[in-house]
Copies of this chain bind each other. A is one copy, B any other.
Amino acid sequence: MPGLVHVVDDDASFRTAIERRLKLSGYDVATYASAQDLLDRLPDDSRPGCILLDVRIPGLSGPELQSRLIELGSTVPIVFLTGYADTPTTVRAIKAGAEDFLTKPVSSEQLIDAIERALARQEAGRHHHRKLESLRALVATLTPREHQVFDLIVRGKINKQIGHELGTTERTIKAHRHQVMEKMQVRSLAELVSIAERLGLLDADKA
């Protein structure tokens, strides 16, 4: 599936021109006259895509839209493309995670290059995100009690201690522990700890 580029610009003729150029390069294009317009038909993170965003647009500005998208948890990469680029705005946009900051007029080479980098970065991020999501999905199948046991297991506690902490017996913990290993689809404690670490469940305290 070709990459989908979301073009946000208040200049209709510019939108048309960019759309033509991008389509010639093999991309799908969706255009928006304002930031609000894009928020109303929010791009789903599930297909490859990026946002080509003007800075100065009526209503929400480009950077403001960027902030909103970050708040909403969107991972769609953003390439800024604007006629007026002041340094503080550029710095803030890049530090906030924008893939690039281009100025009009832009060469096709520059533009395509930035879009390709944005799509590649999104793809890498998505791989990582998907892995974590599948792990979180497994954790979500644990009952509250199993989750407690899971937590203490990966902190190195032994069944006897866990039973004492949770006010039950070692025997019961064994049963929960078995369920945890089963549900998390691991066959060793090492794998379980590795998962917990990658999900950031162990970062509290630590020397």
Residues of chain A at the chain B interface (Cβ within 8 Å): 85, 87, 90-91, 94-95, 100-103, 131, 153-158, 186-191, 193-194, 197-198, 202, 206-207
Nearest-neighbor residue (CB-CB) of A94 within chain B: B94
The 7 sampled A-B contact pairs (Cβ below 8 Å) are: A94-B95, A190-B193, A193-B193, A193-B194, A193-B197, A194-B197, A194-B202
Q: When A and B form their complex, which 4 residue pairs have the shortest distance between CB atoms, in order from nearest?
A: A156-B188, A156-B190, A193-B193, A197-B197
The residue that A189 contacts in the complex, of B91, B95, B101, B156, with Cβ under 8 A, is B156
Nearest-neighbor residue (CB-CB) of A82 within chain B: B87
The CA of A91 and the CA of B81, in the complex, are separated in Å by 13
Within the complex, what minimum Cβ distance (angstroms) separates A3 from chain B? Answer: 21
The CA of A131 and the CA of B202, in the complex, are separated in Å by 15
